[in-house]
Structure 1
Amino acid sequence: MAFPTPLTGVVPPLCTPLTSEREVDVRSLLRLVDRLVGAGVSGLFVLGSTSEAAFLTDRQRRQVVEAVVAHVGGQLPVLAGVIDMTTPRVLDHVESVTSAGADAVVATAPFYTRTHAAEIARHFRLLASASPVPVVAYDIPSAVHTKLDAGLVLELAAEGVLAGLKDSSGDLAGFRAVVAGARAYPGFAVLTGSELFVDSALALGGGGAVPGLANVDPDGYVRLDRLCRGGEWEAARAEQERLCGLFGLVGVGDPVRMGGGSSAIGAFKAALRLRGVIECAATAEPQVPLAPEEVERVAGFLAAAGLL
């Protein structure tokens, strides 16, 4: 099933604001949605990696989808992650998020067990047969330890199984191969999940970007997208380089006491709190919170980027 209209532009993967008790802070979530919509984004992606979907309960996942869908009211497409280890579990998530109003679902390859390419293809075909909305493949080998092959993605695009690809693999050559092959399938969305080479992805013919940093600076990514589409490549490169500098905030956490995910998500949330978008910068357990001095470093990155 294809998207009714082409999915292009900036589609931020929303952070999920939490209270100090680690419940979903719906009021902050909707304030973030308003901030992103006001900046001119093209869609919203909930329950992805930046959303901490892996840390949320099924109840919280549904709460996020219901709140965002109701608040957006059809202004923009809402894509919902259905990320889980096995096909039956993902199918349960498909039913949950689509009944809550999601306009598309986003799924990785199965993980935990070693998965053959034929099983990955079968997984996506089963999802598409059960889903009443388009299915987007999420290529994130850093999380699921499987790289989606460009040939397989294009085979599933040709069958109408997949409506698009969110490529967070960092493999620009593979991204290019999908972009080139997908020209045969009008409407197939090829989106980069990278914060750092959106200009390059769009220059190759990509449809848009799903950058986590767009939570912090949605105006910058919308501006970058428009510059690229207008052929203003020098200005686009300058804006991309400014965003690359800002992206340095994901490394503020001390690697001796926390992982890269704790540092990155913690920095995004600290930045959103410093910018007055969310009330609390808590991250889901067992992630390690940023120390006060690390939050100060986040503030320094914001100031350098002209955001404070």
Structure 2
Amino acid sequence: MSKKYIGSIPPIITPIDEKENVDEEALRQLVDRCIDTGQHGLFVAGSNGECLALTQKERDRAISIVLDQTNGRVPVMSGVMDASTRRVIDNIKALEQMGGTCAVITPVFYARHATQDETVRHFEEIARHTDMDLMIYNIPPFTGQTIKPKTIFRIAEIDNVVGYKDTTSSFIDFQSCVEHFKGTDFALLQGSTLLSAASMLIGADGFIPSMAPLFPEPFVKCYEYGRAGDIERTMKCHALIEEICGIFPLAKSQTASTKFAISRLGFLNKRVCQPTEPTTPEQEAAIIAAIETIEEKIAALD
């Protein structure tokens, strides 16, 4: 059994300049930071990366930079999400030209979803146009559709669909998927960070934590302890992860709070794409205080 997409795979932010173009040097440093601190893969051009706030040109540029800087050191999952099947296929063709090997796909959005069947057809048609690895991405607040477990099972029968990122926060549905895919090569990734520890303990293959670039150790250890079935140490990691997730609501926008927090690494800007509400000085002070407390607790983590 061989799975490519496992472990702590951060959905990296996209550093931008004052014109909302990709800050290439900062993005390259962020890639190196993730790899050097033990992350098992990268997810570029996801919702945390403001993929649909960027222009298509800059979105493609972000993906190209990440693929180039990674240079095969870890697997890269690239977001190709879009509003129609043809648009996704076009995004995948561009990704193929960049050397990408894994495309992350949601149901189409800005649409009135009629049935689960339309999402099955969406993946079937995409698969006819590429041999690339395809990853199912279930994020109902952004797409207007929750992909049900039985639909996941149907889509997984397509040869080049290799895994599933679940950001529904429905642990019951995720459990159903873990049971269904037990003993297979199909990768199950938890997209709701607060469910990372519990998901690992029931057999998940990894998770997608947006704060891992800033706090790598709790996430790497959560994966290692969870995979080993060490409940006590996994739950110690969960306690830290819970505090880390407490940073998100300290600003009006989770994107803004995440970007400001990660900007504390010192090599990238906190800037967010318009019209996202930026952090205020008061919010930033609260985030800095939270970071300092968390760092003290991480230092005591065994």
For normalisation by structure 1, the TM-score amounts to 0.92
Q: Which runs of 5+ in 2 are unaligned?
A: none
SS in structure 1 of the partner of residue 272 of structure 2: coil
Distance (Å, rounded) in 2 between the aligned partners of 1:228 and 1:78: 22
The answer for the alignment partner of 1:299 in structure 2 is 288
The answer for the alignment partner of 2:255 in structure 1 is 265
Report if aligned partners of 1:105, 1:135 keep a CA contact under 8 Å in 2.
yes
Report if aligned partners of 1:15, 1:215 keep a CA contact under 8 Å in 2.
no
Amino acid at match of 2:254: A
Amino acid at match of 2:162: A
The answer for the alignment partner of 1:183 in structure 2 is 182
The answer for the alignment partner of 1:73 in structure 2 is 71
The answer for the alignment partner of 1:274 in structure 2 is 264
The answer for the alignment partner of 2:85 in structure 1 is 87
The answer for the alignment partner of 1:117 in structure 2 is 116
Distance (Å, rounded) in 2 between the aligned partners of 1:233 and 1:35: 28
Distance (Å, rounded) in 2 between the aligned partners of 1:102 and 1:225: 25
Amino acid at match of 1:178: C
Alignment of 1:74-153 (within 5 A): 74-115=72-113, 116-153=115-152
Report if aligned partners of 2:190, 2:199 keep a CA contact under 8 Å in 1.
yes
Identity rate, percent: 26
Amino acid at match of 2:284: V
Map Cα deviations across residues 26-62 of structure 1 (whole Å, 9 max, x no partner).
1111111111101111111101010000101111011
The answer for the alignment partner of 1:260 in structure 2 is none
Q: What is the number of residues matched between the two proteins? A: 296
Give how far 1:161 is off.
4.9
Report if aligned partners of 2:4, 2:75 keep a CA contact under 8 Å in 1.
no
C-alpha RMSD over aligned residues: 1.6
Q: Which runs of 5+ in 1 are unaligned?
A: 255-262
Amino acid at match of 2:149: A
The answer for the alignment partner of 2:170 in structure 1 is 171
Distance (Å, rounded) in 1 between the aligned partners of 2:181 and 2:228: 22
For normalisation by structure 2, the TM-score amounts to 0.94
Amino acid at match of 1:302: I
Give how far 1:63 is off.
0.7
Give how far 1:215 is off.
2.9
The answer for the alignment partner of 2:274 in structure 1 is 285
Report if aligned partners of 1:47, 1:81 keep a CA contact under 8 Å in 2.
yes
Give how far 1:25 is off.
0.6
Report if aligned partners of 2:3, 2:186 keep a CA contact under 8 Å in 1.
no
Give how far 1:5 is off.
4.0
Distance (Å, rounded) in 1 between the aligned partners of 2:81 and 2:140: 13
The answer for the alignment partner of 1:44 in structure 2 is 42
Report if aligned partners of 1:252, 1:298 keep a CA contact under 8 Å in 2.
yes
Amino acid at match of 2:255: I
Give how far 1:231 is off.
2.5
Report if aligned partners of 1:127, 1:135 keep a CA contact under 8 Å in 2.
no
Amino acid at match of 2:136: A
The answer for the alignment partner of 1:259 in structure 2 is none
List 4+ stretches of structure 1 deviating above 4 A: none
Report if aligned partners of 1:98, 1:132 keep a CA contact under 8 Å in 2.
no
User: Are residue 31 (structure 1) and residue 29 (structure 2) matched?
Assistant: yes
Give how far 1:4 is off.
6.8
